[in-house]
Structure 1
Amino acid sequence: MILESAVLPVKPTLQPGFEEAFRQASAIISSMQGYIRHELHRCMENGNQYLLLVWWETLEDHTVGFRQSEQYQEWRKLLHHFYEPFPVVEHYSEVSLGTG
């Protein structure tokens, strides 16, 4: 399992529209092969910034299965015009701490 993280810098004053568009976009991502779950968090110090966390079964489920799909084009149309600058997306794998 991998964790995708993206800090989403939303243009000032567009937060309400972004949140509504993200509600619509959530149905897209949650229908994808390999999707496990996702969360969206608004930054308390900067209300224009959000943190998106998405859990995928594999890296390729996100980078190939989602990003190269027709559904991703719909996702882009709904969300990408809200960002400035464009978000950096990173992927993480869990570190086993051997604690049980």
Structure 2
Amino acid sequence: MILEVAVLQVKPGLTDGFERSFKEASGIISKMKGYIHHELQKCIEDPNKYILLVKWETLEDHTIGFRGSAEYQEWKALLHHFYDPFPTVEHFEIVNLDS
């Protein structure tokens, strides 16, 4: 399992529109191959900052499958104009501490 993490800085005054668009975009990502779960959290200290956490089965499900799809173009059209600066997306994996 891979965890995609993106810090989203939304332009001031656009958070309501962003949240409405994100609700619609959630229906897109949740149907993708390899998708497991996602959540969006809003920062308490900065009301224009969000964190997006998406669990994928594999890195390629996100980087190739989703980003290379027509659905990603819909996602992009719904959300990318809200960000300034454009978010950095990173991927994480679980560290096995049992050894």
- TM-score of the pair, normalised by structure 2: 0.98
- TM-score of the pair, normalised by structure 1: 0.98
Give the deviation of 1:54 after TM superposition.
0.1
**1:83 matched to which residue of 2?**
83
Give the deviation of 1:98 after TM superposition.
1.2
Q: How does 1:1-100 map to 2 (within 5 A)?
A: 1-98=1-98
The one-character-per-residue Cα deviations of 1:11-51 (angstroms, maximum 9, x if unpaired) are 00100000000000000000000000000000000000000
Mapped to 1, the partners of 2:45 and 2:13 lie a distance apart of 15
Mapped to 2, the partners of 1:97 and 1:46 lie a distance apart of 34
Mapped to 2, the partners of 1:67 and 1:94 lie a distance apart of 23
Give the deviation of 1:97 after TM superposition.
1.4
Mapped to 1, the partners of 2:75 and 2:8 lie a distance apart of 14
Percent of aligned positions with the same letter in both sequences?
Answer: 65
Alignment-mate amino acid for residue 23 of structure 2: R
Gaps of 5+ in 2: none
Mapped to 1, the partners of 2:19 and 2:53 lie a distance apart of 15
Match of 2:85, SS state, is coil
Mapped to 1, the partners of 2:23 and 2:14 lie a distance apart of 14
How many residues in Structure 1 have an aligned counterpart in Structure 2? 99
Gaps of 5+ in 1: none
